[in-house]
Structure 1
């Protein structure tokens, strides 16, 4: 079982990621949260937790961590502190502890934030974090979904390095895509966009397999 540290575990998408990992026979989730009261929901399911704040030092969270999923977000309130600098802290700590893979939940539009009509500051922060990860020397996958919805999972997506169109996707399908990219034979040093589609997630990920 590989230990997977999930930053942003208390978020809407993060909770789904942790649950998927917990159901997996390959992965053991470590839910990284900021507040003690956020730990209870995970402890009730016997899921490992760690207290760490992305605005502070996070090095202590990396005890016996094999891989990382960064699914944290400030909700637009602290994009520089959390979405950018928080991600960079996680990347640095991953390098220092020889984490084997870093999976980044980014956003469609992060490749060209200045072209966005809104959310420019958020997309700039995501862009800077993505570039930092690409230059880190870590094995990584950067997943850039379209607009997130709370719809049920379809287990199907449309995936391209660049889709050249906008679209929606459920958080459930995003969570499943992120978890699947943890596998060693999937999407190493890859960046791609996803929206809801007609291709099974496992099949859609095959073109970016190593």
Structure 2
């Protein structure tokens, strides 16, 4: 089984990712948390944890890690330090440790943050992190969902490299998409947007994987 580090494991989406990985046959989740007090609930479920603060040195967090899902965020409070520089720091550590794949939870609008009417600074930070990942030589997938909701997931999405419209999507479906993108042959060096839709997640990922068009 491959060890998957989840940055932002204690977040709303991060916790869903951890549970999906825990129940999978292919992966062993490693929950990266910022505080010791956050470790207990994961350890009670026999989930491996590692302390890592994205504002500090996190090189130790990638030891014995095969793949990474970056689902961390500052909630708008420290977009430069966490969402941008923290992500870049983990990307660099992943590269130094020869991590096999890095899956980034980004955001719709991160491709053109200057056109955003709100959340402009956040989208700029996500854009910088995405560009850093694309230039890293790592194998990566960048997933840009619409507005996240706490609705029950449907297991279905609408996926395209550019959807051309906004929308929303359940966190459960975003988590499933991120986990699906961990596979070696799925969406390598691809950037795509997702919202709620009618195509089964696995099928949507397989379709875009058969039509590779790496992002410039």
TM-score bucket (shorter structure): over 0.9
Which position in structure 2 is the counterpart of 1:179?
Answer: 179
Q: Does 1:116 align with 2:116?
A: yes
CA shift at 1:207, angstroms?
2.1
Residues 145-170 of structure 1: CA deviation (Å, up to 9, x unaligned): 00000001100000000001000000
1:81 is matched with which residue? 81
2:158 aligns with 158
CA distance in 2, matches of 1:27, 1:18: 10
Q: How does 1:140-151 map to 2 (within 5 A)?
A: 140-151=140-151
What are the equivalent positions in structure 2 for 1:1-210 lying under 5 Å apart?
Answer: 1-209=1-209
Q: TM-score, normalised to structure 1's length?
A: 0.99
Structure 2, unpaired ranges of 5+:
211-216
Runs of 4+ in 1 over 6 A off after TM superposition: none
Q: Deviations over 1:13-49 (max 9, x none)?
A: 0000000000000000000000011011110100000
Measured against aligned partners, the alpha-carbon deviations of 1:39-73 in whole angstroms (never above 9, x if no partner) come to 11110100000001000000011110000000000
Q: Distance in 2 between matches of 1:94 and 1:37?
A: 26
TM-score between both structures, scaled by the size of structure 2: 0.96
Number of residue pairs matched?
Answer: 210
Shift of 1:208: 2.2
Paired with 2:169 and 2:158, the residues of 1 have a C-alpha distance of 9
SS in 1 for 2:69: strand
Q: Matches of 2:181 and 2:125 in 1, distance apart?
A: 23
SS in 2 for 1:57: coil
Q: How far off is 1:185 after superposition?
A: 1.1
Query: What's the CA shift for 1:133?
Result: 0.2
C-alpha distance in structure 1 between counterparts of 2:204 and 2:144, whole Å:
14
CA-CA distance at 1:97 after TM superposition = 0.2
